[in-house]
Amino acid sequence: MPCDHLQMTPDLRTPGGHPISAYCFGTMQWGGKSDPADSQAMYDAARAVGINFFDTAHGYTGGASENLLGEFAAPERDHLFIATKCASTGNCAPEAIAKDFDESLKRLDVEFVDMLYMHRWSDDVPLEATYEALAIMVDSGRVRHIGVSNYSAWQVMKAAGVAASLDLRIEMQQPMYNLVKRQAEVEILPMCTSENIAVVPYSPLGGGLLTGNFHLGHDGRSTHVPLD
């Protein structure tokens, strides 16, 4: 299962007040390589072992991932912690963020998400503009918590300073981290420990490299999506 492990968890809870699980289930393949039936089976298996934290993104599988997660989660929304991401293309302009997020809410069929990540860093849009847009979403009740993905340590700290000026706090960081790609150990993990930011690493199996698929002559996600 494409589960990511959450470390150093702040006091984050589902809308119903339940602590979030130590493992997060990533839904990047739902609606793509995993058809709806397989995706439903994955969701059911995750719930059966107590996972209540699910991760998706506006850019995953053309929106199918968000659609499927919304469908599966609907009967028990208050028991789940749902995270999605915007700006997967790197366009962090306020209007682009708003457009992505509005589409994500419709696909998920929810009025709010528990965690909204900025999917990419942008050198082209002032951080103040990006995080002012996020502050509006938080103030409106459509976003409960803010996180970042694929940020370097210095980018997290720079964004955290801007966020703090707007009474926001970056509460999660999502770096790539596995036995093949361990760069997060150098600066990102120590920074998160220092700043009490939860780490939700993605690609824990290295896109299939660590599963044995290649040894058996099969391929994996890293065949099509390089580990860069």
Q: Is 177 labeled as catalytic in the residue annotation?
A: no
Residue 94: both structure tokens together: 């306020």
Question: In this structure, are strands 170-174 and 53-55 parallel, antiparallel, or unpaired?
Answer: unpaired
Taking the C-alpha atoms of residue 76 and residue 68, their distance in angstroms, rounded to an integer, is 14
- Listed residue (195, 155, 189) closest to 175, CA to CA: 189
- CA angle (94, 170, 165) in 5-degree steps: 70
Taking the C-alpha atoms of residue 78 and residue 111, their distance in angstroms, rounded to an integer, is 12
Contact at 8 Å (CB) between 161 and 170? no
Annotated catalytic residue: which of 23, 60, 131, 177? 60
- CA angle (77, 51, 174) in 5-degree steps: 95
Catalytic residues: 60
